[in-house]
Structure 1
Amino acid sequence: MPRRCGPEGRKSCSDVLSNGRRRPPVTNSGGARGAAGLPLRGEKCRRCGPASACCGQLAPTATDGHRRLRRDESAGTHGRALCAGDRQTGRPAVVFVPALGVPEDLMNVASECGKWTRSVLLDVLGPAGRVDLPTFATAVAEWLKVTADAPVVLAGHSTGAQAALHAAVQMPGAVRALVLMSPTFPPHLRQVPALLRATFRNVAHESLGVWRAVLPGCVRIGAVTLFRLLRSAQHDQPEATIADVRCPVLVVRGEQDPFCPEPWATRLSNTARRGQCVNVPGAHGFPHQHGTNTSALIAEFTERCT
């Protein structure tokens, strides 16, 4: 059951713990599956052929009628967005920024949020190349600048939370509320040996479903790009950046997450102008394993901020 960070351990939302179920992937005309079941760059959508000239939609399946693919270009970055649901009156859209730019990481929670508002899962890194955290954050900010027609709830996970944090500072008018899920890295994890030890501890608590979901995306992005992004994220200082965020901030961490220990999450929420910290069951990959629970937290936080 979710509880606030800190010794009091008070409940902050209803007990809605439920494993999120991954929806069946959509296949392209050639039968190949891209990230989250979407056409990869250079592949074809069912209706339009090359993704670069895509009309913006995938043919719906019986269980997946609300997903649609849109390809955006901003600041020279080729991006795409997987959308679910429709924006409801009085409820802003939720835009997700995945860890290490791997969209499979947040498929479950993005699908769940699509049940109560418009949910957008970003893939803004483009082809593998010289990508670091500042590039990642700028790509998210540029996407918001070009695409968002109203302030959104920006939600990032892990290194995606770091990118979302910087994007919220760069584009304050575009972000109504900020959700940081398992934000990385506390000072003691900014060296490779300590990070490796934390990784081994996390493996013991992580579900196999998380690894099955994210490993194909990691392979697609490539080891060099992942390492460059990871090392630049270790050099980042979220504890300094978060003080410049104008909107309300919710920090969410898994109770068994060694990458985001409770003192670190509490420090971030206390440094924010309007911050709150919540503990939830699970390890670092809790948004994938508990998509329904995470969606409910975001929905409750959104209601308080609107």
Structure 2
Amino acid sequence: MTRRDEQFVLDGRSYRVISTTAERDTGAVRFVLVHGVGTSHRYFARLHDELAADGDTVSVDLPGFGGVAKPDHALEVAETASGLAQVLDALGAGPAVLVGHSMGTQWVVELAAQRPDLVQALVLIGPVTDRRRRSMPLQALALAHDTVGETPGVNQRVFADYLRAGPSWYLRHVRRMIDYPIEDRLAEVAAPVLVIRGGNDPIARADWSRLLRDRAARGSMAVVPGHRHVVQHTAPRAVASAIRAFVDGAD
């Protein structure tokens, strides 16, 4: 496999793109991985490598995250999605399977609504924000609950990225995350959708994940028992297997 680490500046905003060309040449990017609020490509590394065995795979660090330069203001969900579309255009990467985690699910859903031509399918891992828990205190409580059950490796990666992004930048995006009505926007997306959650995820709970599955025009759901919110790091093979089966079925 061939691996590249590149920097893009588009409309004055910076992006980092880690791309892997699969052993079996598909001729185009097949998977695009989008991290959540405060984090980076690092907690996608294991899933990235699993998926790269089947298709060209890209992980994107968005403006202000993962050490990428911050823009002059915290971006709205629609602005971030539009910028991500520019990255995919620059890569010649569409249509692709967009894989988002946590707030990354909001960015890929919004991108699918804005630019359906770039989307083959959507994978929403640990989607947020549960419409019955749209407040800072409730989200903080859910995050604390998840943290105590995650592995030390997950917590080290996630909180190192939180510190790198900075508390102010992180919190400004959390406010946008809480306000974004993903369930309504998802209903406007025509592409097939797979919702994945860890069986013990206190952030993307079972009833909320089922609601999103049912809001999608063509929705399905997979659960990885015994895992929590960052299931793509703790169970990358199981998550990759679910994605492969979903993509094969969608095709």
- Provide the TM-score with structure 2 as the length reference: 0.90
Q: Structure 1 residue 96 and structure 2 residue 28: aligned?
A: no
Q: CA deviation at 1:236?
A: 0.5
Matched residue type, 2:242: L
Q: Give the aligned partner of residue 69 of structure 1.
A: 5
Distance in 2 between residues matched to 1:304 and 1:143, nearest whole Å: 27
Q: Match for 1:114 among 52, 64, 69?
A: 52
Distance in 1 between residues matched to 2:49 and 2:109, nearest whole Å: 22
Q: Give the aligned partner of residue 43 of structure 2.
A: 105
Asked if the contact 1:144–1:171 (Cα under 8 Å) also holds between the matched residues in 2, the reply is no
Q: CA deviation at 1:102?
A: 1.8
Q: Secondary structure at the match of 1:244?
A: coil
More helix as a share of residues:
2
Q: Match for 1:241 among 185, 196, 200?
A: 185
Q: Structure 1 residue 127 and structure 2 residue 69: aligned?
A: yes
Q: Is there any run of 5+ residues in structure 2 with no aligned partner, and where?
A: none
Matched residue type, 2:48: A
Q: Secondary structure at the match of 2:124?
A: strand
Q: CA deviation at 1:90?
A: 9.0
Matched residue type, 1:83: S
Asked if the contact 1:74–1:146 (Cα under 8 Å) also holds between the matched residues in 2, the reply is no
Asked if the contact 1:141–1:168 (Cα under 8 Å) also holds between the matched residues in 2, the reply is no
Matched residue type, 1:120: V
Aligned residues: 242
Distance in 2 between residues matched to 1:300 and 1:244, nearest whole Å: 24
Asked if the contact 2:28–2:92 (Cα under 8 Å) also holds between the matched residues in 1, the reply is no
Per-residue CA deviations over 1:56-96 (Å, capped at 9, x if unaligned) read: xxxxxxxxx63211222323321121112326449861000
Q: Give the aligned partner of residue 235 of structure 2.
A: 290
Distance in 2 between residues matched to 1:97 and 1:290, nearest whole Å: 17
Distance in 1 between residues matched to 2:246 and 2:138, nearest whole Å: 33
Give the structure with higher Rg (CA). Answer: 1
Q: Secondary structure at the match of 1:220?
A: helix
Asked if the contact 1:108–1:287 (Cα under 8 Å) also holds between the matched residues in 2, the reply is yes
Q: Give the aligned partner of residue 167 of structure 2.
A: 223
Q: CA deviation at 1:110?
A: 0.8
Q: Secondary structure at the match of 1:212?
A: helix
RMSD between aligned residues = 1.8
Distance in 2 between residues matched to 1:231 and 1:285, nearest whole Å: 21
Q: Secondary structure at the match of 2:197?
A: strand
Matched residue type, 1:154: L
Q: Give the aligned partner of residue 87 of structure 2.
A: 143
- Provide the TM-score with structure 1 as the length reference: 0.74
Distance in 2 between residues matched to 1:89 and 1:102, nearest whole Å: 26
Distance in 2 between residues matched to 1:149 and 1:209, nearest whole Å: 31
Asked if the contact 2:26–2:56 (Cα under 8 Å) also holds between the matched residues in 1, the reply is no
Using a 3 Å threshold, how does the CA distance of structure 1 residues 202 and 221 change in structure 2: closer, same or farther? same
Q: CA deviation at 1:136?
A: 2.4
Q: Give the aligned partner of residue 194 of structure 2.
A: 250
The alignment-based identity, stated in percent, is 27
Distance in 1 between residues matched to 2:161 and 2:141, nearest whole Å: 23
Using a 3 Å threshold, how does the CA distance of structure 1 residues 263 and 176 change in structure 2: closer, same or farther? same
Using a 3 Å threshold, how does the CA distance of structure 1 residues 88 and 274 change in structure 2: closer, same or farther? farther
Q: CA deviation at 1:181?
A: 0.4
